Structure formats: structure tokens, C-alpha cells
Amino acid sequence: MSEPPSPPPARPPDELSPVDYLMHRGEAQPATRSAFLNVEILDRPADWGRLREAIDRASRVVIRMRQKVVVPTVPTTPPRWVVDPDFDLNYHLRRAALPAPGTLRQLLDLAELTLQSPLDTSRALWEAIYVEDLEGGRAALLTKLSHAITDGLGGIALFEQVYDTERDALPRPMPPIPIPRDVSGEDLVRDSLTHLPETAVSAGRRALGRAVTTADRLIRRPGATVGGAIGFAGSARRMLGPPPVPPSPLLRRRSLVSRTFVLEVPLADLRAAAKAVGGSVNDAYLAALSGGLGRYHQALGVPIDALPLTLPVSLRTNDDPASGNRFAGATIAAPIGEPDPAERIRLVREQVIARRNEPAIDVIGQIAPVLSLLPDGALQLVSERINVPDIQASNVPGYGAETFLAGAKVERQYAMGPLPRVAMMAILVSRAGICTVTVRYDTASFSAADQLEKGLQLGFDEVLELGRPKPRPASRRAPRQQTPATPRRRPGEQT
């Protein structure tokens, strides 16, 4: 038996992957911006000094928080992450207060404006706002992060550095400041030309290694033949081709105006509902979302059977760093016209399993090196021609235990995702036994906000009902033989 091919040379840790670079370039256009934002509700005001110290410490441990992207003026070498010599914590961490009464609605509206604003790509690609004066004496932390830094699961791992496991945790030692580098795009070009033969050979070996590894996986699959290669090509066509069902006629319009709606359910209840019909938490979540979308279409007089919904499939392994993106997208036909929630879970599960097992699941990652070399105009043209789904939905497992931030307990986490030409982005985050569902939607696509939010709540209610104990039917006993009662005697009546 021949030895498996040696893996391609590892990418230098400061080099952007083609996928990460595409995410970075997307910041230039509102339709392709990919930053995401976490809203964390604190049970009381945090200690501002301790909070600054925690964020400062995290930025020294998680080096991406102090790095900016430097792009070569000529594409002779990949873009690089470089420790920003002008890093200023006061720019990245800010402080604000809500006007009275400080409601969750006001906080979500502030978060919307923050997420809609573009990141400054000449700096480290994150921002945080500590928000005071929430009703009930609470506070919040809004943390905005470019998708070029990491994906949802990676973000959870990165920000473990910020939290404490108890309210009055002892201070942790402050690591040294990462050594900054004053590097320009011209510097990268000059350096690459100096080492051109070495750079070219290394890049060529990586590209060839990726191709050989992919081919070897295909050949070594059980029953792999020429037919297997054809099957791989067919899988690639499915992944890159039109969605499995046409988009909804009701959700065609797009705009730059969006709104965020949140709801929450106990994780145990969602798990019980899924288990009752042989599904997973993710299946139940997608089925509930589909039920809500179906109700919305019914209410507006445009009932349809299904619409395209894309969900991320994590490609992360235990050896992958927390930074960087390691996911692929899989599109299903969300069964929004199916009235039975149990059947919706079954239909969702069947499709998700099939899509996750596609041989070409990571085809976008494989063509990203070519796409990343396109000039801006050509890349925008390609982006506009890509078929996009109506809905994107993510499920991010959060922290299982309670977490604290500068003396305040994190009560809730709401994750707001980008809207890359889609009508809606929904994200479920489970944290300390509670699932929050954050639905961010384009108001031109969903013009009836009340109907949408009511429908989504009912969609989750009916799925959760699957896991609740059913009332036991009353037992049907044979009627007991009755003894004739002695008639009551009226006054003056003879016995």
C-alpha cells in the first residue's frame, strides 16, 4: 500500500488564508460586510477599571486583537496580520449610556447602528462598547468583530480570555505587550521580491499539496472510482448551483435598513422537544424557525411550501487555532409550508445530514485562492452573480457554566450576524442553560414586523410543545353497581 501524501506546508500564522482575505475585502461594500456583534447583558454595572484591564489582557493574549491587516500593493505575496504600532485601547473600547428607561429594545437599536457601521480596516478589526443605565440596574457589553478574524465557534474560544468564573476573581497577571511592526504594503512587496524563489516554491508546494490531499481523499473513499470523481463533480455543482428551491416571492426586496428581534427558550426544553421525535437541538431550532416563517407567509397571503435556508457546517478540528474561518455553507429547502412540527423536524434532519455528507462541502474554500486574486470590480461582479438564500441560520454552542465580567454576571448573550444580501440572519446561542435566538432581518424583505415576530414566537412554542408531557387520558372503569337510595321522606309523609 502506498504511503499517504505528506501534508502541504503549513501557512505562516501571520498570513491571511484566502477565505479570511475575502472576508476582509467584503468590508468595503455594505452588501458584503461580514462583521458580527455580541450583546451581553450584565446583572449589574461592571467595574470600569477591571473591565479595561480584562480587555487589555485579552488583547495581549489573543494577538489578533492587536493586529491589523496589511495588504501588499502588488499581489506578490499574501496579506499579513501585523501587530499595529498605533494600537489604542481607548479607540477600540468605548463607554456609553442609554437614555431612560434603558430598555432592551433601545439596546438592540444601538447594537444595530453599531453593526451597520463599517469597521476601520486600517486598525485592528474589532470594537467594544460598554453600555450603562439599562433598566433594572443592569449594564451591557457590545462586542463587534470582523469575520476575517474568526468564525462563530472561534469567537467563543477567543473571548474565553475575557471572562472570570466567579464574581470576585483574583487579578490575573498582565502579559507583556506584543511587539509591534511598522510594516506597509510596499514593505511586503519588497520582501517578497527579495525572497521570490523561496516564496514561489513554498506557495506552489502548498497549492500542490492541497490538490494532492483532496485527490487522495477522493481515491481512498470506499468504492471510489472514476464514478467517484464524477460524483464529486456533481456534488460541487450542487454546492455552487442554484438553491434546492426557488426563493420566496415575498422576500425579494433588499435595503440597508435592518431590525433585530430576540426570544429565548430553556435549552432543556428545546432538547426534550428534539429528542421526542428523534432529532437534534439544531433540527428543532430550524424547524421552529421554519414554522414561524410559514406563519408569516400565511398571514400575508403568500403561502409557499419551502424556501432556501443556508446553515454553516463547522470544519474545525481540535488542531485548528481559534482564529481564522473553518466552516462551509449548506443550503436546504426549509419546509415552511409543513404544518406538523414533528414532520418539519424530520424533513430538516434528513436534508442537513445529506448536505453535511456532500463530498464537495468545502468547495468554496478550495476556489477561494482564485477568487482572492480577482480585482475588486471583478470580485463584486462574481459576488452579485452568486445565488444567495433567503435565510441564513447559525447555531453556536456557548459557555456551559456561569461567566463573569469585571464583577458582573453575564445573564444573557444575543449574537447578531451579518446580512450578506439575505433577508434574514438568525443565530441561536446556548449559554448556561438558556438558548437565545437573535433574528436580524431586512425591513424591506419583511415589511410586517409584528406578524413576523408573532409568527416566530408561535413557531418555537409549537416545537417546544412536542417535548412536554402529554396529559394522561382518564381511565375508563366499568360503572359501579349502585344500591337504590332510600327515598327522602317529606314532612308529614307516612313510612
Amino acid type, 414 = Y
Q: Average of pLDDT values for 470-479? A: 63
In the prediction, which pLDDT does 180 show?
Answer: 93
* pLDDT recorded at residue 471: 75
Q: Tell me whether strands 424-431 and 391-397 are parallel, antiparallel or unpaired.
A: parallel
β-sheet bridge partners, residue 265:
435
Could you list the active site residues?
A: 147
Q: What is the mean pLDDT of residues 291-301?
A: 98
Cell of 148: 476575517
The mean per-residue pLDDT over the stretch 484-491 comes to: 41
Q: Where in the chain is the domain with CATH 3.30.559.10?
A: 18-188
476 falls in which pLDDT band (50, 70, 90)? low
Contact 174, 53 (CB under 8 A): yes
pLDDT higher than threshold 60 for residue 179:
yes
Mean pLDDT along residues 252-278: 96
What is the pTM assigned to this prediction? Answer: 0.84
Name which residue leads in pLDDT, 91 or 477: 91
Distance between CA 343 and CA 339 in Å, rounded?
8
CA pseudo-torsion sign 316, 117, 135, 425: negative
Position with higher pLDDT, 255 vs 31? 255
pLDDT tens digits, 348-393? 999 999 988 878 777 777 777 888 888 888 888 877 777 789 999 9
User: Cα–Cα distances in Å, from 26 out to 178, 392, 423?
Assistant: 27, 17, 18
Does residue 150 have a pLDDT over 90?
A: no
- Whole-Å CA distances, 25 to 19, 120, 240: 10, 12, 21
Name the residue among 135, 67, 55 with its Cα closest to residue 97: 135
Q: Is the peptide bond before 101 cis (omega within 30 degrees of 0)?
A: yes
* Residue 394 CB contacts under 8 Å (≥ 6 apart), including other chains: 152, 311, 312, 415, 417, 425, 426, 427, 428
Q: Where in the chain is the domain with CATH 3.30.559.30?
A: 246-397+421-465
- The rounded distance, in Å, linking the Cα atoms of 293 and 310 is 14
Give start and end residues of each alpha helix (H) in 161-195: 185-194
| Rounded average pLDDT over 450-458 | 97
**What integer pLDDT is reported at residue 227 of this predicted model?**
57
The pLDDT tens digits for 397-423 are: 888 889 999 999 999 999 999 999 999
Q: Rounded distance, CA 59 to CA 168, Å? A: 22
pLDDT value of residue 48: 97
**Model confidence pLDDT, tens digit, residues 336-349:** 999 999 999 999 99
Report the pLDDT value the prediction gives residue 239, as an integer from 0 to 100: 67
pLDDT for 9 beyond 70: no
What is the average pLDDT across 157-162? 76
Question: Does 465 have pLDDT greater than 60?
Answer: yes
- Determine the topology of domain 18-188 in CATH: Chloramphenicol Acetyltransferase (3.30.559)
467 near 275, Cβ under 8 Å?
A: yes
**DSSP string of 307-347?**
EEEEEEEE---TTS-SSB--EEEEEEEE-TT---HHHHHHH
Question: If one looks up domain 246-397+421-465 in CATH, what number appears?
Answer: 3.30.559.30
Q: What is the pLDDT of residue 219?
A: 41
Residue 94: in which H helix or E strand, if any?
A: strand 93-97
Average pLDDT over residues 439-450: 97
Average pLDDT over the chain, rounded to an integer: 85
Lowest mean pLDDT: which of 39-43, 355-359, 389-393, 437-441? 355-359
Task: Report yes or no: 142 and 108 within 8 Å, Cβ to Cβ.
Answer: no
Cα 381 versus chain centre, distance: 26
**How far apart are alpha carbons 325 and 315 in whole angstroms?**
9
Residue-level pLDDT at 218: 42
Task: Please report, rounded to a whole number, the percentage of residues in the chain having pLDDT higher than 90.
Answer: 58
All cell numbers assigned to 299: 398571514
Cβ atoms of 313 and 355 within 8 Å: the answer is yes
Q: What residues contact residue 105 under an 8 Å CB cut-off, 6+ apart?
A: none
pLDDT band with cut points at 50, 70 and 90 for residue 233? low
Of 150 and 50, more confident: 50
Angle between helices 267-276 and 281-299 (to 10 degrees): 90
pLDDT interval class at 213 (50, 70, 90): very low
| Residue 432 reports pLDDT greater than 90 | no
